[in-house]
C-alpha cells in the first residue's frame, strides 16, 4: 500500500448544483495499477476544461490519463440525491453506470441514479 493511487480521490465533484463531469481512467505506464475516477465542477464551461486540470495533476503523480467520456451530474445535497445524465460532445458519453458505482463509494447514504436523458 501507501501508493500515490491512494492519495487520488475517487470522486471530486461540487457539493451542490448541476454541472459537467468526466470519467477518467488512470493507469501506470506499462500496466499495473489502474482505476477510474470521477471529476465534475460548475467552474468548467466545457468537459475538456476538467480534463485539462486533472491530466497534469495525475501526470505529476506518474499516471497516464484517458478520458472515458462525460456527462452531467445533478447533485442535491439537501435530499441526498445524485442524478447522472447527458453526454460530452467532445469525449462522448461516459458509462454512467460505472460513474454511479464510483459515486456510491463516496456518497454511501445517497440515492444515485442515471439515465441517457439529455437534460
* Residue 92, all three cell numbers: 462522448
- For the four alpha carbons of 41, 77, 66 and 117, in that order, the dihedral sign comes to negative
For 83, the domain range is 11-115
C-alpha closest to that of 117 among 63, 79, 74: 74
Give the residue numbers of the binding site: 20
Catalytic residue among 25, 47, 75, 96: 47
Give the residue numbers of the binding site for substrate: 20
In three-state secondary structure terms, 109 is: coil
- Checking if the pLDDT of 3 tops 90, the result is no
pLDDT band at 1 (very low <50, low <70, confident <90, very high): very low
Has 47 been annotated as catalytic? Answer: yes
Residue 103 lies in a domain: yes
C-alpha closest to that of 12 among 26, 2, 22: 22
**H/E run at residue 27:** strand 17-27
Task: Give the contacts of 52 (CB within 8 A, at least 6 positions apart).
Answer: none
Domain count within the chain: 1
CATH number, domain of 103, equals 3.50.20.20
pLDDT for residue 33: 86
- Residues 46-82 pLDDT 10s: 999 999 999 999 999 999 999 999 999 999 999 999 9
Residue 38 lies in a domain: yes
b/e map 37-70, b = 16+ CB within 10 Å: bbbbbeebeebbebbeebbeebeeeebebebbbb
Residue 17 lies in a domain: yes
pLDDT for residue 7: 79
Amino acid at each position: 500500500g501507501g501508493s500515490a493511487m491512494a492519495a487520488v480521490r475517487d470522486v471530486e465533484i461540487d457539493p451542490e448544483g448541476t454541472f459537467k463531469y468526466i470519467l477518467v481512467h488512470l493507469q501506470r505506464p506499462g500496466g499495473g495499477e489502474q482505476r477510474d475516477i470521477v471529476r465534475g465542477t460548475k467552474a468548467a464551461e466545457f468537459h475538456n476544461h476538467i480534463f485539462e486540470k486533472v491530466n497534469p495533476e495525475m501526470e505529476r503523480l506518474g499516471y497516464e490519463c484517458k478520458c472515458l467520456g462525460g456527462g452531467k451530474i445533478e447533485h442535491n445535497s439537501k435530499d441526498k440525491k445524485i442524478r447522472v445524465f447527458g453526454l460530452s460532445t467532445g469525449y462522448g458519453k461516459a458509462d454512467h453506470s460505472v460513474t454511479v458505482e464510483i459515486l456510491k463509494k463516496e456518497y454511501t447514504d445517497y440515492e444515485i441514479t442515471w439515465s441517457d436523458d439529455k437534460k
